[in-house]
Structure formats: C-alpha cells, structure tokens
C-alpha cells in the first residue's frame, strides 16, 4: 500500500479502500480527543497550508482552515477574485508563485474539472482537490463516509440513495467511487436528463422514481441542482422537480425507521429538501459539517508526514 505522505489528493478514484479506512480511523481518534477535551496533538506545527479558492465556499474552506489551525499549522486563504488571475496571470503561474513561498500543501477549488490535476503535473507541493467543476470533491466524500459509519456503525452492505442532479455533481461522483470501494450498494435517482447514461457502467442502480427508491434506502443523500454548471435547466420547471424529486415529510414516511438524511450543502430549502426534513430527527446534515473538520485534520496529518505520530495519539 502506498503511503499517503506527500501524495496529491485529486479524487476518491485514486484512493484505495485501505487509504480511506486509514483516514476514517484517524478522524475517529481526533473526534474522540475533541469530545473528551483531551488535548489535540500539535502534529502540524511549523506547516503552512494555502487555501486557493476560485469558487465560493462556506464549509470546505473554513473547515480546512480550522483543521489546520487545530493541529498547529498556519493557514492562509487566497480567493480567485483576490488573486492576480484577475490581472491575467494564468492558474499555473499563480500556483507556481505560491509554491515558490514553500507551503506544505495547496488546497484548490476551481470551476474547471481537472484544474487540480493540471497543477499536480507541474508542482511538487501536495495538491488537495476541494472541488473541481463537476469532476470530484474527495474530502466531501470522506466526511460523508465518516458520517455514515458513525451513524450506522458500518458502510458495507448499506443501500445509499443519491437524489438529484447527478450529472453535474462532483459530490455524487466522489461518493459513488468511495461508497463502492467501501462495499455499499448505490441507487441514483433523478430526472433522466440529470443522470448520465454511463452510471450503470459504474455498477450503480438507476431509478427515476423517488418514492420506490426511498423505501429501500438506509441512507438518503439529497443534492442541490447545480444551476451554475448547466447551460439551461434540464427539466420542465422547478415546481415539477419539487413534486417528483423533492424530499418532504410525506415521502419520508415511506422510508425505513432508522434512515438518515444527508446533504452536502448549500441547501435550497423547499426545492430538493423541505425545511422540516432538513431540520428533522433523521437529518445528519450538521453532523456532516462537524465531521468535515476531523476528517480534514486526519487527511492533512497523513499527507504532511506525521503519520506515525498521528497514529500514536
């Protein structure tokens, strides 16, 4: 098994089942430390992490920053609008200039699928993909896997239903790769125009009927419609979308009694999920956000070479 130390993290496609298990196990240790108020080890003291975000973010950017700081690292944020790309500098030049200041990792979010891969071909500094176009969002999938395991005690054998705009969702793609590696059964559900035909080749069950899918699921993951990634909306109307693919308390009555409801955020309340479901007893949406910090702490520790020290805590 290749060590995680020094690697680029471009997608769940590149991580083995063992890599994923190692990250989740260390995240669990960090969560126990935090919940028992045991001091967190300063595993990243002296390290510098750069968050380079060309798209908006509430959760991912702040949780990477909190994760780095909780372990003693310095973290700086650069936004696309605040960078010299607005003066015509290329992404590669921007990244090479950041690398010249010797950071220990660069975390990038970009609207172009493949942007982190391009940087990984040029830079030696580890690159972490924080979401690229509609390609991948690996740390979201890792925190989703952690949250599922925490709530259900396992991942293998569970039926995970992913509902909505599968075609434009990097969260769906990363979760499909990750969940499959961990042995879950995946059902994707949405309008036919938002489910790519290649889905079945990934070994995923495809459904166009929310109600029958909800009955089978142990985990329901709702997705936002990615309007910013569509030339035109690919279904007749939002009203119709809500009617057929929005999750509300009526539809939830069909679900298993121990189902959990997930959403990566940001929520469009009243579209893909009704407020009472988002805030209701089955929702683990804010647990996902909480878990994002410990999962990113684990990933940064393993990547930045303190694996043995991390494991010892």
Q: Which residues are catalytic?
A: 59-60, 87, 109, 137
CB of 51 to ligand CP, least distance (A): 11
State the DSSP H helix or E strand holding residue 262, giving kind and residue range, or none if neither.
strand 260-262
Tell me how far apart the alpha carbons of residues 219 and 222 are, in angstroms, rounded to a whole number.
10
CB of 124 to ligand CP, least distance (A): 26
Distances (CA, A) of 225 to 9, 76, 121, 156: 26, 30, 32, 28
Tell me how far apart the alpha carbons of residues 9 and 24 are, in angstroms, rounded to a whole number.
15
CB of 131 to ligand CP, least distance (A): 6
Cβ nearer to ligand CP, comparing 43 with 108: 108
Please state whether beta strands 48-53 and 74-79 pair in parallel, antiparallel, or not at all (unpaired). Answer: parallel
Cβ nearer to ligand CP, comparing 122 with 230: 230
Which residues would be at the binding site for ligand CP (CB under 6 A)? Answer: 57-60, 131, 137, 140, 264-266
CB of 87 to ligand CP, least distance (A): 26
Contact 244, 210 (CB under 8 A): yes
Distances (CA, A) of 175 to 80, 135, 136, 307: 27, 11, 9, 25
Tell me how far apart the alpha carbons of residues 122 and 100 are, in angstroms, rounded to a whole number.
12
Tell me how far apart the alpha carbons of residues 283 and 280 are, in angstroms, rounded to a whole number.
6
CB of 23 to ligand CP, least distance (A): 17
Cβ nearer to ligand CP, comparing 164 with 264: 264
Secondary structure of residue 76 in the 3-state scheme: strand
Sign of CA dihedral 223, 227, 233, 239: positive
Neighbours of 72 (CB within 10 A): 14
Cβ nearer to ligand CP, comparing 76 with 254: 76
Cβ partners under 8 Å of residue 8, min gap 6: 116, 120, 126, 127, 128
Question: Helix axis angle, 59-70 relative to 285-303, nearest 10°?
Answer: 50
Cβ nearer to ligand CP, comparing 125 with 169: 169
Cβ nearer to ligand CP, comparing 12 with 310: 12
């Amino acid at each position: 098994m290749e060590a995680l130390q020094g690697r680029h993290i471009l997608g769940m496609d590149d991580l083995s089942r063992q890599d994923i298990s190692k990250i989740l196990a260390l995240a669990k240790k960090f969560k126990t430390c935090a919940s028992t108020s045991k001091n967190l080890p300063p595993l990243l003291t002296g390290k510098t992490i750069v968050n380079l975000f060309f798209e908006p973010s509430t959760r991912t950017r702040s949780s990477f920053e909190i994760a780095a700081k909780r372990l003693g690292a310095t973290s700086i944020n650069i936004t696309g609008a605040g960078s010299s790309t607005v003066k015509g500098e290329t992404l590669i030049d921007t990244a090479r200039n950041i690398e010249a200041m010797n950071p220990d990792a660069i975390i990038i979010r970009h609207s172009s699928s493949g942007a982190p891969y391009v940087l990984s071909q040029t830079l030696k500094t580890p690159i972490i993909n924080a979401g690229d176009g509609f390609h991948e969002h690996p740390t979201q999938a890792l925190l989703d896997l952690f949250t599922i395991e925490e709530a259900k005690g396992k991942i293998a054998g569970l039926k995970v239903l992913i509902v909505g705009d599968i075609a434009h969702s990097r969260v769906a793609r990363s979760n499909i790769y990750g969940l499959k590696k961990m042995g879950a059964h995946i059902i994707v559900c949405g309008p036919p125009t938002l489910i790519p035909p290649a889905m079945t080749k990934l070994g995923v069950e495809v459904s166009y009927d929310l109600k029958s899918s909800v009955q089978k699921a142990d985990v329901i993951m709702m997705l936002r419609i990615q309007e910013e990634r569509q030339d035109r909306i690919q279904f007749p109307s939002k009203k119709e979308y809500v009617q057929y693919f929005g999750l509300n308390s009526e539809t939830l009555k069909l679900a298993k009694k121990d189902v959990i409801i997930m959403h990566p955020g940001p929520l469009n309340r009243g579209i893909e999920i009704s407020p009472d479901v988002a805030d209701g007893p089955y929702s683990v949406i804010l647990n996902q956000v909480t878990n994002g910090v410990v999962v990113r702490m684990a990933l940064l520790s393993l990547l930045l070479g303190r694996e043995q020290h991390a494991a010892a805590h």
